[in-house]
């Protein structure tokens, strides 16, 4: 049987993978360090799985216990800094997010990553009362993945505009942006009624139409402005922003409509 690939992941994928190729795994070591052992012991039954992966102690916990676990880590184990909070999107494969908290103990110079899984549509408890750094980090997580944090003092988009739709780091969100993104600035600057005149924003800066004689010069021979060089071949349907492409020579006064 062919391998099942999630169809709602629109990110770049390897175009060829050897059928016998099996990806190796980064070795996971058992917890042997004295300090890490004490940490696992202090957390007791709340730890579902614990191992050391590349100098970090990784603790898998239940998503509902994140606050209690981080509180124990902070108060008992000396993990005073929460250096990073973010998520990984596993919605396509497993229907859940993986949320990680990257913790740092300054005295011992040790790092712990607390990992939990959160089902789609559920919210996680905010850890802002414990670590103020979570304020921005959880806002970013909400902005990028749409994961809400309960009891966050000011849960609002942070990097994207407030009226943006969609969460850009989801695997279902295309790199070049979606339909909403292509109209966002047009609607904002000119208004919806100018959609027909301006057209959607070209969000791929590397897009080139090989028959375009308006914007690109021909190498080797000269062609008059806007000449048709396709010799009968159908044009690639690319919608340009026509705002600055109004051909003043031929006298179509598109811009005048705006006055």
Partner 1 sequence: MQVTNKLTPFFENLNFERDDNTMVINFGPQHPSAHGQLRLVLELDGELVTKAYPDIGYLHRGIEKMAENMTYNEFLPTTDRLDYIASTSNNYAYALAVEKLIGLEVPRRAQVIRTMLLELNRIISHLFFLATHALDVGAMSVFLYAFREREFAMDLMEDYCGARLTHSAVRIGGVPLDLPKGWLENLTIYLDKLPQNIKMYEDLLTENRIWKMRLEDVGTLSPEDAMSWGCSGVMLRGSGIPYDIRKEEPYELYGELDFDIPISQSCDSLGRYKLYMEEMRQSKRILEQLIEMYPQTEQKLMAHAPQYISAPKEEIMTQNYALMQHFVLVTQGMRPPKGEVYVPTESPKGELGFYIKSEGEPYAYRLKCRAPSFYHTGLLQEILVGTYIADVVTIIGSTNIVFGEVDR
Q: What's the min distance (Å) between Cβ of 8 and partner 1?
A: 14
In angstroms, the CA 187 to CA 193 distance is 8
Confirm or reject binding of residue 36 to partner 1 (CB under 8 A). no
In angstroms, the CA 74 to CA 63 distance is 17
**Subset of residues 129 to 158 that bind partner 1, contact rule: CB under 8 A:** 131-133, 135-137, 140, 144, 157-158
**β-strand partners of 103:** 82, 112
Confirm or reject binding of residue 91 to partner 1 (CB under 8 A). no
Look-up: residue for tokens 């899984």?
117
Confirm or reject binding of residue 219 to partner 1 (CB under 8 A). no
In angstroms, the CA 110 to CA 141 distance is 24
Q: What's the min distance (Å) between Cβ of 75 and partner 1?
A: 13
Cβ proximity to partner 1: between 3 and 215 the closer is 3
**Subset of residues 169 to 188 that bind partner 1, contact rule: CB under 8 A:** 169, 173, 175
The answer to whether 236 and 211 have CB atoms below 8 angstroms apart is yes
Helix (H), strand (E) at residue 95:
none
Cβ proximity to partner 1: between 72 and 213 the closer is 72
Write the burial class of residue 241 (CB in 10 Å: 0-12 exposed, 13-18 middle, 19+ buried): middle
Confirm or reject binding of residue 202 to partner 1 (CB under 8 A). no
Question: Which listed residue (100, 183, 211, 240) binds partner 1 by CB under 8 A?
Answer: 100
Length of the chain: 259
Rg of the chain on CA atoms, in Å: 26
Cβ proximity to partner 1: between 69 and 140 the closer is 140
Largest Cα–Cα distance of the chain, in whole Å? 80
Q: Name the residues that contact partner 1, by CB under 8 A.
A: 11-16, 23-26, 28, 53-56, 58, 80-84, 86, 88-89, 100, 102, 104, 106, 109, 111, 113, 131-133, 135-137, 140, 144, 157-161, 168-169, 173, 175, 190-191
């Amino acid at each position: 049987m062919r391998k099942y690939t999630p169809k709602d992941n629109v990110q770049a994928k390897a175009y060829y993978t050897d059928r016998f190729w099996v990806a190796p795994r980064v070795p996971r070591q058992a917890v042997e360090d004295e300090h890490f052992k004490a940490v696992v012991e202090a957390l007791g039954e709340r730890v579902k799985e614990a191992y050391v992966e590349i100098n970090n102690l990784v603790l898998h916990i239940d998503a509902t216990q994140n606050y209690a676990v981080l509180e124990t880590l902070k108060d008992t184990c000396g993990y005073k800094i929460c250096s990073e909070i973010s998520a990984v999107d596993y919605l396509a494969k497993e229907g859940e997010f993986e949320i990680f908290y990257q913790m740092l103990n300054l005295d011992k110079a040790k790092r712990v990553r607390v990992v939990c899984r959160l089902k789609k549509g559920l919210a996680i408890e905010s850890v802002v009362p414990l670590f103020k750094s979570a304020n921005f980090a959880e806002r970013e997580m909400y902005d990028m993945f749409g994961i809400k944090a309960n009891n966050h003092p000011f849960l609002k988009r942070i990097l994207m505009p407030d009226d943006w739709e969609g969460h850009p780091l989801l695997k279902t969100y295309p790199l070049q942006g979606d339909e909403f993104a292509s109209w966002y600035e047009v609607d904002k600057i000119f208004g919806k009624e100018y959609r027909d005149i301006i057209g959607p924003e070209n969000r791929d800066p590397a897009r080139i139409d090989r028959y375009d004689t308006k914007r690109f010069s021909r190498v080797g021979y000269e062609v008059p402005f806007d000449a048709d060089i396709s010799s009968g071949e159908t044009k690639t349907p690319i919608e340009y922003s026509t705002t600055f492409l109004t051909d003043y020579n031929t006298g179509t006064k598109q811009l005048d409509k705006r006055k």
